[in-house]
């Protein structure tokens, strides 16, 4: 009997991602009506915005019809149009919950969200039962399934109608036991731009993780027309875009401007289209240069863009493109220090060689070490933080570039007074090539990333550890 007293709501099960949903059903003397899938209401209530592309119906004549256990390479939203089922779900994904079982009876007033890799089976309890499911990928004869035997002793599913009395296909009856099932591997994470400063930090962060792939520019070039077909994108859960054109001053030249827009804007737009079509989470790394630096407070994630130069303009365009992807994290950072040549190494070298540098003292911000960005990105992905933009820099009190230089001199045992602070205009007064305008205030508000459970290391502490390793 269909229940008419439920309100829309979710019940978590013991299997991660498998969620039982109550659906309001409205009935009268004519029959009943329900919104089987209502994107706005359900995503607001916590349903993943999983992007269904195909709707299937399995009609079953008799009670006792039993189908499964199949783990499919897509997410499913399962409900009943008529009749009633006993459903059984077994986690067949690699991990601590492999083999976990959840069962429930479903009538038209309930539904269940089944994530990829969770085995799905049902047994009809009434004649003329219509079993309905939405999936977020099109069926393909080449799709890879993982199967489990309906009578598996380890799962010990208590079928209401004994399997000896049920209607089962020969194929389903021949599926393997749990001990012989190869777990479904998690979908992959692809890091693009793994040869750069952040890319190398991401390699260190995810070292030994078989599900993470790394691609250099030689492997995937965002400016190439061929990169959209460079991978079987449906196999990926997330793309971390660590590739970018970062020559801030070079972007002011005719050739540099075109290269910056090709990589930072057009390339990201192509990635966004791929991610949207394949249901992939896109992680895009942004910059303080999307702002003009005139604010008298730290910049928040929702502040309006106001880039000063070509580089900042191309990064802002890339952010707008990335934000069109339903599943996205835009990680905005500043003053990045990673492996290879960088400001801190340069200052340490000058200190050792007896050079007294002139360093800009009218730009304010916080250093951000590439390892902190990599850890923050991993945190957002693994905690399934709400999608959106997050500022991520080093923590603590802001300083100037001259202030950083003085601290490097102090940490390396040299007199900080050897660093002479100058204005940006003075520093670049003799420049022969075009110079990009710099934001005077690069300080980013860290409240949102902290509320998401990630507290960036204090910039001065990270600098001390970094210098000690030089």
Mean pLDDT of 417-445: 95
User: Residue 279: its pLDDT value, please?
Assistant: 86
Q: Quick: pLDDT tens for 452-467.
A: 999 999 999 999 999 9
**Which residue from 420, 414, 428, 315 is spatially nearest to 359, judged by alpha carbons?**
420
User: Residue 149: its pLDDT value, please?
Assistant: 97
Q: Quick check: is 81 in a domain?
A: yes
Residues 176 and 200 in one domain: no
Residues 370 and 401 in one domain: yes
User: Residue 233: its pLDDT value, please?
Assistant: 86
User: Residue 49: its pLDDT value, please?
Assistant: 84
User: Residue 340: its pLDDT value, please?
Assistant: 87
User: Residue 364: its pLDDT value, please?
Assistant: 98
Q: Quick check: is 3 in a domain?
A: no
Of 180, 211, 230, which marks where a domain is finished? 180
Mean pLDDT of 396-420: 97
Q: 383: domain CATH number?
A: 3.40.50.720
| Long-range CB pairs of 408-411, under 8 A, 24+ apart, other chains included | 408/344, 408/347, 408/348, 408/351, 408/463, 408/467, 409/347, 409/351, 411/463, 411/464, 411/467, 411/468
Give, for 320, the enclosing helix (H) or strand (E): helix 310-322
Burial class of residue 301 in the structure, from the number of CB atoms within 10 Å of its CB (0-12 exposed, 13-18 middle, 19+ buried):
middle
Residues 223 and 110 in one domain: no
Is residue 82 helix, strand or coil? strand
User: Residue 221: its pLDDT value, please?
Assistant: 83
Structural domain span for residue 391: 188-468
Is residue 39 helix, strand or coil? helix
Residues 26 and 116 in one domain: yes
Residues 202 and 84 in one domain: no
User: Residue 48: its pLDDT value, please?
Assistant: 85
Residues acting as catalytic residues? 70, 133
Q: Quick check: is 196 in a domain?
A: yes
pTM: 0.84
Mean pLDDT of 354-366: 97
User: Exposure pattern of 232-267 as b/e (b: 16+ CB <10 Å)?
Assistant: ebbebbbbbbbbbbbebbbbbeeebbbbbbbbbbbb
Mean pLDDT taken over the chain: 95
Residues 399 and 251 in one domain: yes
Contact of 89 with 114, CB cutoff 8 Å = yes
Residue 1: pLDDT over 80: no
Q: Which residue has the tokens 């054109």?
A: 245
Of 164, 180, 196, which marks where a domain is finished? 180
Residues 433 and 364 in one domain: yes
Is residue 283 helix, strand or coil? strand
User: Residue 456: its pLDDT value, please?
Assistant: 95
Q: 29: domain CATH number?
A: 2.60.120.10
Residues 193 and 175 in one domain: no
Over its C-alpha atoms, the chain yields an Rg (Å, rounded) of 28
DSSP β-bridge partners for residue 82: 130
Mean pLDDT of 232-244: 92
Q: Quick: pLDDT tens for 44-53.
A: 999 988 889 8
Residues 137 and 274 in one domain: no
Q: What is the DSSP letter of 267?
A: H
Expressed in angstroms, the distance from the first to the final Cα of the chain is: 72
User: Residue 88: its pLDDT value, please?
Assistant: 98
Of 151, 180, 209, which marks where a domain is finished? 180
Q: Quick check: is 204 in a domain?
A: yes
User: Residue 430: its pLDDT value, please?
Assistant: 87
Cα–Cα–Cα angle for 91, 97, 100, rounded to 5 degrees: 50
Q: Quick: pLDDT tens for 74-124.
A: 999 999 999 999 999 999 999 999 999 999 999 999 999 999 999 999 999
Residues 330 and 299 in one domain: yes
Largest pairwise CA distance in the chain = 92
Q: Quick check: is 2 in a domain?
A: no
Q: Band of the pLDDT at 130, cuts 50, 70, 90?
A: very high
Residues 458 and 360 in one domain: yes
How many domains in the chain?
A: 2
Q: Which residue has the tokens 């827009």?
A: 261
Contact of 424 with 362, CB cutoff 8 Å = yes
d(CA 192, CA 244): 10
Residues 89 and 230 in one domain: no
User: Residue 347: its pLDDT value, please?
Assistant: 97
d(CA 365, CA 395): 10
């Amino acid at each position: 009997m269909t229940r008419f007293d439920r309100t829309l709501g979710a019940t978590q099960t013991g299997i991660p991602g498998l969620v039982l949903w109550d659906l309001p059903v409205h009935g009268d003397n004519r029959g009943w009506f329900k919104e089987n899938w209502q994107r706005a209401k359900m995503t607001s209530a916590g349903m993943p915005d999983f992007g269904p592309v195909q709707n299937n119906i399995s009609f079953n004549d008799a009670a006792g019809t039993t189908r499964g256990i199949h783990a499919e390479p897509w997410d499913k939203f399962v409900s009943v149009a008529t009749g009633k089922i006993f459903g059984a779900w077994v986690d067949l994904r690699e991990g601590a919950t492999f083999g976990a079982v959840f069962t429930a009876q479903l009538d038209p007033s309930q539904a269940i969200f089944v994530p990829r890799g969770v085995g799905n089976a049902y047994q009809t309890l009434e004649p003329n039962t219509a079993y309905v499911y939405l999936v977020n990928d099109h069926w393909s004869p080449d799709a890879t399934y993982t199967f489990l035997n309906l009578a598996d002793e380890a799962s010990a599913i208590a079928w209401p109608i004994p399997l000896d009395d049920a209607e089962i296909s020969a194929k389903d009856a021949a599926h393997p036991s749990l001990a012989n099932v190869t777990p479904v591997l998690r979908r992959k994470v692809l890091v693009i731009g793994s040869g750069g400063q952040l890319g190398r930090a991401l390699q260190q962060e995810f070292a030994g993780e078989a599900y993470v792939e790394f691609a250099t520019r030689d492997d995937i070039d965002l400016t190439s027309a061929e990169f959209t077909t460079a991978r079987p994108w449906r196999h990926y859960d997330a793309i971390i875009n660590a590739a970018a054109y970062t020559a801030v001053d070079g972007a002011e030249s005719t050739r540099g401007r075109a290269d910056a827009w090709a990589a930072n804007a057009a390339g990201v737009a192509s990635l966004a289209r791929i991610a949207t079509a394949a249901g992939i989470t896109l992680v895009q790394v942004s910059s303080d240069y999307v702002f003009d630096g005139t604010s008298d407070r730290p910049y928040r994630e929702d502040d309006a863009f106001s880039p000063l130069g070509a580089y900042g303009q191309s990064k802002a365009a890339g952010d707008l493109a990335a934000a069109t992807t339903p599943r996205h994290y835009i990680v905005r950072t500043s003053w990045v220090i990673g492996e290879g040549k960088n400001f801190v190494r340069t200052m340490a070298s000058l200190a050792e060689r007896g050079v007294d540098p002139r360093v800009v003292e009218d730009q304010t911000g916080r250093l951000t070490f590439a390892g902190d960005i990599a850890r923050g990105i991993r945190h957002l992905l693994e905690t399934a933080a709400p999608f959106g933009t997050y500022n991520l820099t080093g923590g603590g009190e802001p300083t100037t570039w001259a202030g950083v230089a003085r601290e490097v001199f102090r940490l390396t045992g040299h007199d900080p007074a050897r660093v002479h602070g100058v204005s940006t205009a003075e520093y670049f007064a003799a420049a022969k090539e075009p110079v990009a305008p710099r934001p005077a205030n690069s300080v980013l508000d860290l409240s949102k990333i902290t509320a998401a459970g990630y507290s960036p290391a204090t910039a001065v502490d990270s600098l001390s550890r970094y210098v000690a390793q030089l």
